[in-house]
Structure formats: C-alpha cells, structure tokens
Structure 1
Amino acid sequence: MEKGKKMALLVGCNYPNTPNELHGCHNDVLAMREVLITRFGFDPKRVEILIDKPGSSTMPTGANIKSTLNRMVDQAEQGDVLFFHYSGHGTLIKPHNSSKKEEAIVPCDFNLITSVDFRQLVNRVPKGATFTILSDSCHNGGLIDKETEQIGPYTIPDDAFTIPTNPYKPKEIPFQSILQYFTSLTNKISTDIGTHLVDVFGQDASLMFLHEPVNKPLKPDEGILLSGCQTNETSADVEIMENGRKPCGAFSNAVQMVLKENPGRALTNREIVMLARKILLVQHFNKQHPCLYCSKENADAVFLSPPQKPCP
C-alpha cells in the first residue's frame, strides 16, 4: 500500500428544513476541500465529503461517518496524514449512571458520535501516522478525551463581552431536545439516551452505549484536536462580511483566514489555534475560544504535516 498518503473526511451538517437548521456547514467543508488540495497537496480522490444536501448519494449519518473514518484508519500506515473536519451541531450528554457529561457530535440522523468513539478510533492510528480533528461545533473540547490540553480555557469579564456585528446561531442542540426526539420515536419512558439510541440504531449506535469500552491507554502522539470552542462554550454559525456574506462556521472561517493571510508559511497547530482566536476576537466572538488538545510535540508540529522522524 502507498505510504505517505494524505486522507481526509469532511462532514458538513446543515440539518435542512428542521428546527435545528444551520446554513454555513456545507460551505465550511467545501472551502476546506479546496485548501487541502491546493495548499496541502491532498489527492482529490482521497478527500471524501459528506453533506446533508437533498439528493446527496451518501448522507452524513452516524453510521456513514464512523464507517468512513474506520476505513481511513484501516488504510493508514506509518508516515500518513489523516484529517477529519466536522462542521455541525454538538451536544453534551449524560450517560446512564454517570455524573460526568460527555461530548458528542450530532450527525444528520442524530445518531450521536461520542468521545468514546473518537477515543477508540484514535487509539487505532498506526504508530508514525497523525490524525488531526478540526471540530467546528459546540462543547467539543474533550472530543478525544485523555489528550493533553495545550491551549485551553480562557475567561474574560462578562462586562467585556460585545455583541458580534453579524447575526449568528449557536451550533448546539441541547441534550434535552435530543432526548425528547428519541422518546417520541421509541415511546420508551427513560431518561437514558443510550436506551433510545440502541433501540433505534442497534449496533450502529455509539460504543458508549453498546458495551463497556476497552480502556486501553491512548497513544498520546497520534491524536490532535483543534476545537472551535471550550467544552462549556458554543460555536457560531454566522455570515461573515469578509466572506462575501456567505454563511459559514465562525471557527472554520477563522482557520481559512489564518491560512489565507499566511500564504506559503508553515504554521504549527498551536499557531493555527492562537491566530484563529485573535480573528474571532476582532469579529467580537469573544466568548468562543478555540482550544488545542494533543502532545507537546504535536502542538509545535506543522499543521497537517507528516510526523517528524525521531533523531537517532
């Protein structure tokens, strides 16, 4: 199998014609595809896009997203670069008999993909390959739990908050809304979201709800998470003036602007997040603080670059 491959899955969920509709997520991943090909040298055949546009041949359901990610990891070898960009809703869920809330992304069919799924996925990445996740959704600071927080919480006084000049919508679906939706499908009186998800999706439901996860130690060098906001914050779906008033995710657009403003410059993961924070502050999204979770080595590694070989 070819080594040194660059593979990507880009997922945009707008949830059209629903109360949860967003408008910029398709634009986010289409713009990212162009950047991956023209700037980072990705083969177009290795960049897969899943968007919930009416008529799409493959929809971004939970099962389809996980199947594509698993296939990408299965094909990975030493020296490969794997990239997952998600733009859509996120949520915080409370698993049954647990006091800790867990992060999850919300595919178009609401078949939640949880931090447990991402933890197991990243744990399978071969040694010497990298897996970068750019998540433009709410409450996804711990999406690959156990990774080290390199750029984390940031607080500002409430009186320092200014209203963004552009209309925006939080990319969040409250857990209670999701629970009510599945309760109406299953007709089960239960506050355990896992009971409903397994009833509706069977073995395609999250690993969190199917069995006790295998607690293997996570390989610290493979997982890199660039999160659009802190766990307790929401990310924004917005129209940006610099974007020609095209709907977009505020974080996805900020990353695009960082890359555009630094043509030809090799930016580290740390620089991408810090510069994106500055752009969001200028745009008055000063209650949305992108974060970085990875090893120290990967924090200072070039964004979407192959792993550096250790010195002899």
Structure 2
Amino acid sequence: MSPESTQRQRDHPLAEPHSAIDRGLPGQKDRGLGSDIRKVKQFFTVSKCTGTKRALCIGINYTGQKNELHGCVNDAKNIAKFIIKQYGFRPENVCLLTDDSPHQRQIPTKKNMEDAMDWLVKGAKCHDSLFFHYSGHGGLTKDLDGDEIDGYDEVIFPVDYHKKGEIVDDELHARMVKPLPRGCRLTAVFDSCHSGTALGPFAPALPHPFPTLISPISPLYLPVLLDLDYIYHSNGRLWRSHQVSPKARKDRATPADVISFCACKDSGTAADSQGGGQAVGAMSYGLLEALRKDPHQTYAELLRNVRQLLKSKYSQRSQLSSSHPVDTGMHFLM
C-alpha cells in the first residue's frame, strides 16, 4: 500500500520450487534444498508458544492526508481483540497504535512505532510468542547499504512519514528479529498495498537523497521486510527467496522462529474493502475469517483458506514466508 504512487513493481526471479521440508507434502521430492534444510534445522528451535505472549498491532488510516485509507484502524483493532479472545494474549501485553487514538503515545508516529517494536521483543525468551501486525502504506526506497539484490529497501510508512521518514526493512529486522533468542516465535502480518490513482509518483519530502517508490508490495518483496529466506505458496511448495542477498543471508540469519503472512494486490483496485459491515484491509479480514472458522488448522490449510477468501472477494494473493523451513502440516500456533 503506498502513499504516493501506483507504479507497479517488476517481478523478480525465484528459485525452482521445492518441497516444504524433507518430510513435507506427499508426492513432492526434494529438489536440492534437503541438505540446506537439515543444516538450518540444527540452527533453530520451533517455539512451543508456552511462554509470555506479547503483541503489537498498528493501523494507520492517514486521516486528513491525501493518501487517506479507511480500513487500517479497524484491522488493527479487530486483530487485537481476536488474539486476546482466541489465543490467550493478555490485554496488558497487547500494544495498539492507531491514528484515531486520543492518547499521543498510542499514535503510530515513527518514534512511537520504534519504541513499541523495542518493547515487543524486550526480554524475549525461548518459547515466548510475539505477534506483530501492520496495516498501512508500504513501498520501496533506494538501497544504501548494498544488501538488497534488487537495489531497493522495502519500507512501511508511519503517520508522520512526511516529516520523520519511513521505516526501512533493515530497521524492522534489527529491532524485531535480530534481538530474538533461539526458540522464540514471532508471527508477523503485513497488510500493505497502494491506495489508488490520486497519489503522486514520488515522495520527495522524505528526508533521504532518493525518492521512495510507492506501489503495491509484491509477494516477492514482503519476505524481505523481515529478511526471511523461505516463501510458501498455497499449494504448500517452498521457494528459496533470491531477493535475500548472500551478504544479508549471512548477516541476518536468526535462530528465532519467525513466520510472516502477507498479501499483494494483483491489480490497481483499492485495497480498502468491506467486511463485517465496516471498512477493512482484505488480508487482515481474510486471515481473521479463516482463523475464526478453525483457529487450529495447519499452516497449509490456513494459507489455502485465506487465499480462497481473497480470491473470491478481492484482487489480492496471500503468502507465507519464514526464517527457516516450516512443516506446513503443523497446526497454526501463537
């Protein structure tokens, strides 16, 4: 989702598809990732999610700005209520940042978002379960440190991005992935796409020397928001992301258990949609609807069901990515 442009991103090549893990989907053969997967599995521990549960939900409508949206605040509030009710997150351990809040510390400014990310991961331990949800604008900016294959960093936009700038994927990783210990689960949901033809082509007011290219975030980009290495499609097949450079793959390897859900628009139609009688983001609504029907389905089933919901109502595609090979036959857990 993007504040200033509807320019489409070009596609980038992926590796040939491989099975989810070496004991993954029936009928699929290991086509080259087997030894790689076995090495990775020695490096991380799958979280049991039996420890502390903590969540950060961010929804930004950019009210009064020319790039205004309408469903993002509802997304964040709906997600927060759901995880409290369904997955045992304590209300005092759920931080909600929305730009309709009367409290200054709960407005999703860049400073508040950065502070909240630090709070989310502070003191995290093995088998803790952390949850991050973002609904708002996203886009691309020129990569300055050479760690992106395509030459661009992925970004999300705080409500005050015109003055303070965007938050780059490198910072998201440094704040929310790098500090996590082995066996700590982070589940992230990104509901980001562009907001229509009223937006300009660039964001020259942002305080960096390169224009921020704004467009719907492709599924091929979203894993890189957290620098995750593995991409799963609704048929359960695993792809190795080629957008993670060798340098980034080495520098940003993590023993933590990080899983990300995201969606990308197939067309230029508006991302704000109607669900349950209110404006919502399609990805957030699809994920909630699927989990309400079955909170304990497998990752493969969840991805398939979300994709089917989006396909029937919206022009978006769902995607699952992770920091390590995931057995998509495991039940969804937070």
TM-score (norm 2): 0.64
Q: Matched residues in 2 for 1:12 and 1:132: separation?
A: 17
Deviations 1:209-235 (A, max 9, x none): xxx9996242165221111227x8779
Q: Secondary structure at the match of 2:205?
A: helix
Which stretch shifts more, 18-27 or 290-299? 290-299
Superposed counterparts of 1:13-92, under 5 Å = 13-53=60-100, 55-58=102-105, 59-92=107-140
Considering only aligned residues, what root-mean-square deviation do their CA atoms show, in Å? 3.0
Instruction: Check 1:49–1:97 CA distance in 2 against 1; reply closer, same or farther (3 A cut).
Output: closer
1:257 aligns with 2:276: no
**Structure-2 residue corresponding to 1:204:** none
**Structure-1 residue corresponding to 2:276:** 243
Superposed counterparts of 1:1-312, under 5 Å = 4-53=51-100, 55-58=102-105, 59-96=107-144, 100-110=151-161, 111-120=165-174, 121-138=176-193, 169=195, 176-178=201-203, 180-182=204-206, 190-191=209-210, 216-219=251-254, 221-229=256-264, 236-240=270-274, 242-244=275-277, 246-262=278-294, 265-283=295-313, 285-286=314-315, 288-294=316-322, 295-297=324-326, 299-305=328-334
Deviations 1:145-192 (A, max 9, x none): xxxxxxxxxxxxxxxxxxxxxxxx459977x432x223xxx7x9x436
* 1:33 Cα offset (Å): 1.2
Instruction: Check 1:216–1:9 CA distance in 2 against 1; reply closer, same or farther (3 A cut).
Output: same
Asked if the contact 2:191–2:262 (Cα under 8 Å) also holds between the matched residues in 1, the reply is yes
Asked if the contact 2:202–2:211 (Cα under 8 Å) also holds between the matched residues in 1, the reply is no
Instruction: Check 1:219–1:74 CA distance in 2 against 1; reply closer, same or farther (3 A cut).
Output: same
Q: Matched residues in 2 for 1:117 and 1:239: separation?
A: 30
Which sections of structure 1, spanning at least 5 residues, go unmatched?
Answer: 140-168, 194-211, 306-312
Q: Matched residues in 2 for 1:273 and 1:235: separation?
A: 22
Deviations 1:21-67 (A, max 9, x none): 00011111111111111110110100010001163322111221121
Q: Secondary structure at the match of 1:53?
A: coil
Q: Secondary structure at the match of 1:37?
A: helix
Which amino acid counterpart does residue 332 of structure 2 have in structure 1? F
Which amino acid counterpart does residue 276 of structure 2 have in structure 1? N
Q: Matched residues in 2 for 1:78 and 1:41: separation?
A: 18
Deviations 1:226-245 (A, max 9, x none): 11227x877953232x512x
Which amino acid counterpart does residue 118 of structure 1 have in structure 2? L
Instruction: Check 1:235–1:257 CA distance in 2 against 1; reply closer, same or farther (3 A cut).
Output: farther
* 1:260 Cα offset (Å): 2.0
Q: Matched residues in 1 for 2:173 and 2:75: separation?
A: 25
Q: Secondary structure at the match of 1:297?
A: coil
TM-score (norm 1): 0.69
Greater RCO structure (CA 8 Å; 6+ sep): 2
Which amino acid counterpart does residue 290 of structure 1 have in structure 2? S
Q: Matched residues in 1 for 2:248 and 2:192: separation?
A: 24
* 1:304 Cα offset (Å): 3.9
Instruction: Check 1:300–1:9 CA distance in 2 against 1; reply closer, same or farther (3 A cut).
Output: farther
Deviations 1:270-301 (A, max 9, x none): 33222111101111x24x21111112226444
* 1:78 Cα offset (Å): 1.1
Instruction: Check 1:226–1:49 CA distance in 2 against 1; reply closer, same or farther (3 A cut).
Output: same
Which amino acid counterpart does residue 158 of structure 2 have in structure 1? P
Q: Matched residues in 2 for 1:27 and 1:234: separation?
A: 22
Asked if the contact 1:137–1:171 (Cα under 8 Å) also holds between the matched residues in 2, the reply is no
Q: Matched residues in 2 for 1:278 and 1:219: separation?
A: 32
Q: Matched residues in 2 for 1:132 and 1:103: separation?
A: 19
* 1:11 Cα offset (Å): 0.3
Asked if the contact 1:122–1:218 (Cα under 8 Å) also holds between the matched residues in 2, the reply is no
Q: Matched residues in 1 for 2:122 and 2:257: separation?
A: 14
Q: Secondary structure at the match of 1:229?
A: strand
Which amino acid counterpart does residue 205 of structure 2 have in structure 1? Y
Asked if the contact 1:14–1:21 (Cα under 8 Å) also holds between the matched residues in 2, the reply is yes
Q: Matched residues in 1 for 2:249 and 2:91: separation?
A: 35
The percent of aligned pairs where both chains have the same amino acid is: 29
Q: Matched residues in 1 for 2:138 and 2:198: separation?
A: 5
